[in-house]
Structure 1
Amino acid sequence: MTTDIEALDTVREATADVVDLSSRWRKCADRLRSARADTPDQDAALHVDRDSAVVLTAPHGTRHYRAGAMKQADLHTGSLTLLAGEVAQVSTVVSARARAAWSTWVERDDAFVRHLRDLDEPARMILDIHGMGDHHGPDFCLGTGPRPGALEDAAVDILRDELDGFDVAVDSPFDARPHYTVTSLAQRHLGLAALQIEVAARWRSPDDEAAAPGVSALTRALAAVDRHLRDAA
């Protein structure tokens, strides 16, 4: 039987983990803000190479062009991706500023895309982090892109297993098939597997400790995908 003292210790440990994760997330947000401030007149990206099979990307953590139009940021996806990479110990490429208009990947040439084109072994899969509104319903949506294969199928299975208890949708409402997605770039042009991961707004605030359980579960899931890819190599 669990004693009251043991139960209290468990609660304290869980609370400490939440506080630590939220604190680290806020530091990642500060880092991204500093990167933007340091590059006010140019495209910029933060790249952290951790020699991993999985590479996390966040193309929409700042205002950005998509399909020829300027779009608002997917709020907090940049800092979330930095945090997830740090905790899961996988590489990250996060757009800090995207100023140039573009329509196709062929014509796009900025820091974010150059980092992606320069990826080499052991990188095998891009997991592209996006944000969706809570009104869509699911906690997470996995978009398999235009050319999913065995690695995408395996990653979907792992993510769904690791995120048990959360509502995880696949390809609806977002399938990552349009030509302008990072998932499409990776699958069609970079020779890499890829998935798009949409994260509901309720799990995306570094200032809301209630978001920590979702982020903690996601980082564990991302680490599990990386382990699988390394073992399967």
Structure 2
Amino acid sequence: MSKIKYPPEFLRRLKGVAAKRPRIVIEHILQHGQITTQELKEIYGYNHPPRAIRDVREQGIPIVMFRVTGTDGRKIAAYRFGLPSEVRTTRLSGRTAFSSNLKKVLAEKYGSRCNIYLEPFPVQELQIDHRIPFEIAGENKGNFSEDITDYMLLCASANRAKSWSCENCPNWRVRDTSACKSCYWDHPESYTHIAMRDIRRLDLLWSGEETAQYDLLVEEATKIQKKAPEYVKNVLRNHFKQKNNPREI
């Protein structure tokens, strides 16, 4: 792959980034034209690649995501520089590490559970996240808000899913915080859209002895050549029909 020629001013801005993690990402993209989540994990040891990409964005550098095929044949995320004209004239102040006390307060308020999957997790496995992405609200609210309702506890899987969805949301560039407040990723208990799309989502987890029920569900779905989610929808649809629900299902 031939190296992309960037405007001198853009290159000067890139070379002016001194922080280690964003510097590594920038140098890799300069050399290879892109960087994948697989490379961030396997080469540089970053277990949560979106965080490394956010570090670059917080320096004011535009980054866009696209899909490529990983070494195992699955589609994975890859990142490259956005338009040089979209460089921020001032960088975000960046994240300061959350205090352990904040996690304790959140766990006391919401319980030791993932706020997206609504399932219990050991508190040490939960991560603090801004309800409204830092990249959207950060410039207005600074590193920290004193209102703990601005934060949520997420398991690693939910945090990755939220990061991917938010980064691909049309509002990522518009930065309308009011749109975020009515989104599933901000308040999964009450929302009107998911990343600006008119869809609804229900995340279900089976753990411990419940996994036997899940295995049975998959077995029954396979018998009628259905995937598990489609099978669950059919069960619910039939349930509402039997209840003579006047609403169209």
In the superposition, the TM-score normalised over structure 1's length comes to 0.26
Max radius of gyration: which structure?
Answer: 2
In the superposition, the TM-score normalised over structure 2's length comes to 0.24
Relative contact order, CA 8 A, sep 6+: which one is greater?
1
Q: Which has a greater percent of strand?
A: 1
